């Protein structure tokens, strides 16, 4: 047998799935995340999986996703980092884009750069916009900078020069000198970390990569040792933000690519379910203990963005964070997670999040020291959660502490505990629906044409009501949805990307030089992908170019045949076609120019069925419990069924509750409920919001 393990470290829970690749059977485990040492929770989950199955010797691969990088950047727990840049560029991290993300906020604040000004060093080496050498690298000058860095005891160095996307030779030369002078200190160069134009964005990305690189390398080395000690000798691969996995070596070199690794897995799990059930337009809805995120996928393809933000000063304000230029599934954070804390804001209104209780101390009902009311506490009081059956009965929830926390909060605005819980639920669901509605509309799509697919521990709890508010009638809840990100890891392909920028008019394009650069990029991608065990002949190639008219700042993406170098005429025609589809017209007399080239290869894309292993099947008799019914604005007893005991073809009527160890599907509205052939639960609402 060939066994594979997927592990996702989230803000509240660490999830694990063991897959028998031959049969498609899976075994599941879940544990509270241990913040001081995430490896402790990983070890607990891994041990539980192996105890269920009985052996570790046949594990060929462990795929891992983690929030370590995101948390380290937000909490600024990286190493002391230095920046080496072109003379005159030292203050780019402070100048940013000179734009205000909120025009009317007089107290506007921006995140502090990850590198202090005194740790930024300039050198006189300089390339021109076309890659020609204006000033050569002086080894003496770089050595002097290296001596200063050694004296300052820096733990990592970021190198970012002007025009390095066109030519990387200066950055490579400086890295060589620094590596010799500073043994053991990793050096990140922007031409490898982020090869696209945008000096501030590229510098920010390179600095962030360097800031966490030593931390991530140490973490992955220790994790590899833990698995070895546990008898697992299989390859360790890491999930990255673009919805694929890469080797642990690549992840250690480019940790900035891991920022959205967990949520990316949730999207892939939803898409896998949608493809099995012929859902063309998918709204992937993943809600965990800390955050909820969503993604639109049309024809099974999520959009990929190449720039996103982290460490925002204002959680939902674009421009208030630090940019990262790296391929990532286009996700929108759409509200709160189960641990999000409720409070009364300065206007005297009930507010939920963005602060989270996480797993330490956690919601009040966890009885781990948390006293603030959270979404989980509200869910418990509304009947969404079973206090004796949480995590399959391995973790008890204290309803009295939840009631106490909710009553204390509500008393300040004249609400009792139940009314406060109802208000929290309404706010969370409406906020998530509103954000998703806007996200879909911005893409020119109609939410009513979508199927919502719920994953994550809290996703199935809130999904049906969120779908109703979006006027989506069909909701799917895939098998083992509570550990959906892990299932996404197990169907993820392996992928590698390369990008470079050189702004030039199409008429001046040197096709031979372009062909050589594409070929070199493909060779690097083949090396990276085959390192994961994939075969070179299984790679599907993709090529696109970002283009615009001379004088414009916004680009359009033109998809090209990766096997053929397009002629200048073909390139121009494709640009005009794409430009017209986006803007409705062309610019008479405009001069088309290319900006950024992107090449990527993907190997191993699959759609597969999963089946619960015998020890994951917790059969039980149907029971009843009190559930809040929004249509009646009252608590009412409904049927509670064990998901594992429901065979395909089972038909039910909502309201009802369907439980499993990792999550519960709450159908609090009138709906037809059916168990489909692969174990997916389908909910079709009678009515949606008007």
152 shares a domain with 46: no
CA 658 centroid distance within chain? 28
Residue range 615-637: mean pLDDT, rounded: 80
87 shares a domain with 52: no
114 shares a domain with 13: no
254 shares a domain with 189: no
3-state class (DSSP) for residue 134:
strand
Give the tens place of pLDDT for each residue, 20-30.
988 999 999 98
Q: Would you say residue 505 lies in a domain?
A: yes
Q: What pLDDT does 615 receive?
A: 57
518 shares a domain with 591: yes
Distance separating alpha carbons of residues 613 and 201, to the nearest angstrom: 46
| Four-residue CA torsion sign, 104, 105, 106, 108 | negative
Q: What pLDDT does 388 receive?
A: 85
Distance separating alpha carbons of residues 286 and 482, to the nearest angstrom: 9
CA distances from 156 to 68, 83, 187, 467 (A): 18, 9, 6, 46
Q: What pLDDT does 689 receive?
A: 76
Token pair belonging to 426: 């309404």
CATH number at residue 95: 3.40.50
Domain boundary among 238, 258, 278: 258
Q: What pLDDT does 335 receive?
A: 63
3-state class (DSSP) for residue 239:
strand
Residue range 208-232: mean pLDDT, rounded: 92
Q: What pLDDT does 618 receive?
A: 52
Q: What pLDDT does 37 receive?
A: 83
138 shares a domain with 103: yes
604 pLDDT higher than 90: no
Give the residue carrying structure tokens 């790679």. 539
167 pLDDT higher than 80: yes
| Dihedral, CA of residue 227, residue 236, residue 248 and residue 479, to nearest 10 | -110
130 shares a domain with 93: yes
452 pLDDT higher than 80: yes
Give the tens place of pLDDT for each residue, 181-212.
999 999 999 999 998 998 999 999 999 999 99
Q: Which residues pair with 3 in a beta bridge?
A: 20, 59
Residue range 611-636: mean pLDDT, rounded: 80
443 pLDDT higher than 90: no
User: CB–CB of 681/673 below 8 Å?
Assistant: yes
Q: Would you say residue 56 lies in a domain?
A: yes
Distance separating alpha carbons of residues 648 and 680, to the nearest angstrom: 9
Domain boundary among 554, 583, 603: 603
1 pLDDT higher than 60: no
68 shares a domain with 155: no
Q: Would you say residue 252 lies in a domain?
A: yes
88 pLDDT higher than 80: yes
3-state class (DSSP) for residue 621:
coil
Domain span holding position 13: 3-73+217-258
688 pLDDT higher than 70: yes
Q: Would you say residue 20 lies in a domain?
A: yes
212 shares a domain with 82: yes
Q: Would you say residue 299 lies in a domain?
A: no
Distance separating alpha carbons of residues 187 and 548, to the nearest angstrom: 34
Side-chain-side CA neighbours of 280 within 13 Å: the count stands at 4
95 shares a domain with 17: no
109 shares a domain with 25: no
Q: What pLDDT does 620 receive?
A: 62
Distance separating alpha carbons of residues 64 and 257, to the nearest angstrom: 13
Tell me the DSSP string of 23-90: T-EEEEEEEE--SS-HHHHHHHHHHHHHHHH--STTEEEEEEEESHHHHHHHHT-S--EEEEEETT-T
Token pair belonging to 9: 């470290």
Q: Would you say residue 83 lies in a domain?
A: yes
Q: Would you say residue 357 lies in a domain?
A: no
Ordered alpha helix ranges (H), 531-662:
568-583
369 pLDDT higher than 60: yes
Domain boundary among 603, 626, 659: 603
Reported confidence tier of residue 55, pLDDT bands at 50, 70, 90: confident
User: CB–CB of 262/10 below 8 Å?
Assistant: yes
Reported confidence tier of residue 616, pLDDT bands at 50, 70, 90: low
Reported confidence tier of residue 274, pLDDT bands at 50, 70, 90: very high
Buried b (16+ CB within 10 A) or exposed e, 498-533: bbbbbeeebeebeeeebeebbeebbeebbebbbbbe
Specify which of 61-70, 82-91, 409-418, 502-511 reaches the highest per-range mean pLDDT: 82-91
Q: What pLDDT does 617 receive?
A: 53
Q: How many domains does the chain have?
A: 3
Q: Would you say residue 283 lies in a domain?
A: no
Reported confidence tier of residue 658, pLDDT bands at 50, 70, 90: very high
Closest CA to 608 of 512, 679, 504, 508: 679
686 pLDDT higher than 60: yes
Residue range 328-354: mean pLDDT, rounded: 83
User: CB–CB of 308/323 below 8 Å?
Assistant: yes
CATH number at residue 58: 3.30.420.40
Residue range 464-477: mean pLDDT, rounded: 95
221 shares a domain with 202: no
User: CB–CB of 16/6 below 8 Å?
Assistant: yes
Give the tens place of pLDDT for each residue, 291-337.
788 999 998 889 899 888 888 887 668 888 999 999 999 988 776 77
Token pair belonging to 651: 């038909």
HEC string of 625-669 equals EEEEECCCCEEEEEEEEEHHHCCCCCEEEEEEEEECCCCEEEEEE
Residue range 28-54: mean pLDDT, rounded: 88
- Residues 6 or more apart in contact with residue 107 via CB below 8 angstroms: none
Give the tens place of pLDDT for each residue, 489-544.
999 999 999 999 999 999 999 988 999 999 999 999 999 999 998 999 999 999 99
- Residues 6 or more apart in contact with residue 103 via CB below 8 angstroms: none
CATH number at residue 593: 3.30.1490
Distance separating alpha carbons of residues 516 and 550, to the nearest angstrom: 25
347 pLDDT higher than 90: no
Q: Is 191 left (phi over 0), alpha (psi -120 to 50) or beta?
A: alpha
Lowest mean per-residue pLDDT among 150-164, 289-303, 440-454: 289-303
Reported confidence tier of residue 638, pLDDT bands at 50, 70, 90: very high
| Four-residue CA torsion sign, 446, 310, 360, 267 | positive
> Roughly what angle, to the nearest 10 degrees, separates helices 484-491 and 261-276?
80
Give the residue carrying structure tokens 């890891």. 489
Q: What pLDDT does 346 receive?
A: 85
């Amino acid at each position: 047998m060939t066994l594979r393990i997927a592990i996702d470290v989230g803000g509240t829970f660490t999830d694990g799935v063991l897959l028998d690749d031959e049969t498609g059977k899976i075994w599941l485990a879940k544990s509270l995340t241990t913040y001081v040492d995430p490896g402790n929770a990983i070890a607990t989950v891994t041990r539980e999986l192996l105890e269920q199955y009985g052996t570790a010797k046949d594990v060929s691969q462990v795929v891992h996703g983690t929030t370590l990088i995101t948390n380290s950047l937000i909490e600024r727990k990286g190493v002391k980092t230095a920046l080496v840049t072109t003379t005159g560029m030292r203050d780019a991290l402070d100048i940013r884009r000179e734009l205000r993300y909120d025009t009317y906020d007089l107290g506007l604040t921006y995140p502090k750069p990850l590198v202090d000004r005194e740790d930024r060093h300039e050198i006189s080496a300089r390339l021109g916009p076309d890659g020609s050498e204006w000033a050569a690298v002086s080894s003496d000058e770089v050595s002097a900078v290296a001596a200063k860095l050694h004296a300052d005891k820096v733990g990592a160095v970021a190198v970012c020069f002007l025009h390095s996307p066109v030519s990387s030779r200066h950055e490579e030369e400086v890295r060589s000198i620094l590596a010799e002078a500073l043994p053991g200190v990793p050096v990140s160069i922007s031409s490898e970390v982020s090869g696209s134009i945008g000096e501030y964005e590229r510098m920010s990305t390179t600095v962030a990569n360097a800031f966490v690189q030593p931390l991530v390398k140490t973490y992955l080395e220790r994790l590899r040792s833990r698995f070895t000690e546990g008898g697992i000798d299989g390859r360790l691969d890491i999930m990255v933000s673009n919805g694929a996995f890469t080797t642990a070596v690549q992840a250690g070199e480019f940790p900035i690519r891991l920022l959205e690794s967990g949520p990316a897995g949730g999207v892939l799990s939803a898409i896998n379910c949608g493809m099995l059930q012929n859902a063309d337009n998918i709204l992937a809805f993943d809600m965990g203990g800390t955050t909820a995120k969503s993604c639109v996928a049309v024809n099974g393809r999520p959009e990929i963005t190449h720039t996103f933000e982290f460490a925002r000063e204002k959680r939902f304000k674009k421009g208030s964070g630090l940019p990262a230029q790296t391929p990532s599934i286009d996700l929108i954070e759409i509200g709160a997670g189960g641990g999000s804390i409720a409070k009364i804001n300065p206007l005297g209104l009930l507010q939920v999040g963005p602060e989270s209780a996480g797993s330490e101390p956690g919601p009040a009902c966890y009885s781990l020291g948390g006293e603030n009311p959270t979404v989980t506490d509200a869910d418990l009081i509304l009947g969404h959660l079973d206090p004796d059956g949480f995590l399959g009965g391995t973790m008890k929830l204290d309803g009295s502490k939840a009631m106490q926390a909710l009553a204390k909060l509500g008393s300040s605005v004249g609400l009792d505990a139940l009314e406060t819980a109802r208000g929290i639920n309404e706010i969370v669901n409406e906020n998530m629906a509103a954000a998703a509605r806007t996200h879909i509309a911005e893409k020119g799509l109609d939410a009513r044409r979508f199927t919502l697919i719920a994953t994550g521990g809290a996703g199935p709890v809130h999904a049906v009501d969120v779908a109703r508010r979006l006027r989506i009638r069909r909701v799917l809840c895939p098998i083992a949805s509570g550990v959906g990100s892990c299932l996404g890891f197990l169907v993820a392909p392996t992928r590698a990307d390369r990008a470079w920028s050189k702004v030039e008019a199409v008429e001046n394009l040197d096709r031979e030089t372009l062909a050589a650069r594409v070929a070199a990029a493909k060779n690097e991608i083949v090396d990276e992908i085959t390192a994961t065990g994939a075969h070179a002949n299984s790679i599907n190639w993709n090529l696109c170019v970002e283009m615009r008219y001379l004088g414009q700042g916004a680009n359009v993406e033109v998809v090209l045949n990766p096997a053929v170098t397009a002629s200048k005429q073909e390139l121009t025609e494709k640009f005009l076609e794409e430009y017209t589809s986006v803007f409705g017209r062309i610019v008479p007399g405009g001069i088309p120019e290319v900006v950024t080239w992107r090449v990527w290869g993907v190997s191993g894309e699959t759609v597969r069925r999963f089946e619960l292993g015998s020890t994951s099947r917790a059969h039980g008799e149907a029971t009843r419990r009190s559930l809040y019914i929004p249509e009646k604005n009252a608590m009412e007893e409904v049927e509670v069924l064990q998901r594992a005991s429901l065979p395909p073809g089972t038909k039910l009527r909502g309201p009802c509750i369907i439980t499993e160890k990792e999550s519960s599907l709450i159908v609090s509205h009138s709906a037809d409920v059916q168990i489909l052939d692969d174990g997916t639960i389908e909910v079709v609402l009678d009515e949606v919001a008007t």
